[in-house]
């Protein structure tokens, strides 16, 4: 992503592993200074040191739990600073499990991290980006946002996680329409299965130890980031890194238009007829 102005700092959340680490590395290699946010201070410090040495970038490490309100407020204040020109909302947890069995507190945390935090941070970033006349926000979602009707096995039990990623897709697309004609860009990237440690835990606590990759494999995280940054250059709002034919996104918009045809004041005959039949 090109940005030749004086504000050339990116904030990357969830930077301590996987896709977040790859965003940090790719942006540092492109000349960006960074603010890295995650729960694991040891990993953040190690990553920050490596990127400073490899790229010469100025790198700040902010240890923060975005489900914790004071931490979120602290990060939001940093995001709102004048030097931030790119926000990557990558932090996320899954809370996988049958909905009726998963701890309710964990599900609330999934919503806090996956929905509340990116919304708050985007709201903090946008006014200054609009005032400066440049900036971008990238939201990391998932192809599970489009998997609502599919049952678990082999997909995970994901009612809340999928719902949060569906929010990110709708939020980003709607915000992009709102910002059309401004110099600020927004993107939602929707990877499929990615080779990270994401599936090694539910997100209640960070995965301990060295960074690992779950056994299921998937697309390399660096490829997800490569697709996202290329799509940002070409103003793609919805980026699906493994999708060869972008026409599927157009088909999605067409299906939505067909659904919105039901917004009229007249009840559909199929419901009216069913009601009459039920009452004899």
Domains of the chain: 9-278 (3.40.50.720)
Neighbours of 173 (CB within 10 A): 19
| Mean pLDDT to the nearest integer, 98-124 | 97
Q: What whole-number distance in Å separates Cα of residue 255 and Cα of residue 246?
A: 15
For residue 209, is pLDDT > 70? no
* Angle, vertex CA 128, rays to CA 123 and CA 131, nearest 5: 125
Binned at pLDDT 50, 70 and 90, residue 197 comes out as low
Tell me, what DSSP letter sits at residue 155?
B
Rg (CA), the chain: 20
- For residue 203, what pLDDT is reported? 47
- For residue 210, what pLDDT is reported? 54
Binned at pLDDT 50, 70 and 90, residue 207 comes out as low
Quick one: how far is CA 60 from the chain centroid? Answer: 21
For residue 117, is pLDDT > 70? yes
Give the residue numbers marked as catalytic: 167
Q: What percent of the chain has pLDDT over 70?
A: 90
The model's pTM is: 0.91
Mean pLDDT of the chain: 92
- For residue 204, what pLDDT is reported? 61
For residue 70, is pLDDT > 50? yes
Q: What whole-number distance in Å separates Cα of residue 206 and Cα of residue 63?
A: 12
Using an 8 Å Cβ cutoff, are 85 and 7 in contact? yes
């Amino acid at each position: 992503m090109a940005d030749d102005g004086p504000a050339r700092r990116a904030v990357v959340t969830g930077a301590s592993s996987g896709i977040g680490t790859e965003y940090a590395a790719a942006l540092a290699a492109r000349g960006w200074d960074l603010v890295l946010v995650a729960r694991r201070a040891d990993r953040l410090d190690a990553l920050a040191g490596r990127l400073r040495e490899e790229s010469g970038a100025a790198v700040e490490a902010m240890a923060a739990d975005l489900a914790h309100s004071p931490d979120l407020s602290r990060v939001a204040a940093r995001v709102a600073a004048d030097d931030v020109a790119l926000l990557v909302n990558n932090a996320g947890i899954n809370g996988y499990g049958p909905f009726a069995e998963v701890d309710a507190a964990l599900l609330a945390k999934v919503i806090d991290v996956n929905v509340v935090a990116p919304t708050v941070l985007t709201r903090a970033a946008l006014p200054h980006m609009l005032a400066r006349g440049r900036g971008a926000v990238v939201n990391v979602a998932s192809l599970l946002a489009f998997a609502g009707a599919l049952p678990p096995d082999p997909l995970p039990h994901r009612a809340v996680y999928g719902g949060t990623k569906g929010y990110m897709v709708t939020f980003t697309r709607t915000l992009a329409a709102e910002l059309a004609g401004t110099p600020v860009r927004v993107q939602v990237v929707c990877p499929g299965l990615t080779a990270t440690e994401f599936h090694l835990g539910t997100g209640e606590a960070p995965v301990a130890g060295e960074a690992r990759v779950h056994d299921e494999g998937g697309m390399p995280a660096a490829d997800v980031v490569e697709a996202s940054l290329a799509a940002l250059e070409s103003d793609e709002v919805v980026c699906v890194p493994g999708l060869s034919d972008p026409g599927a996104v157009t088909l999605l918009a067409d299906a939505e238009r067909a659904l919105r045809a039901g917004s009229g004041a007249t009840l559909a005959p199929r419901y009216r007829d069913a009601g009459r039949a039920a009452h004899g």
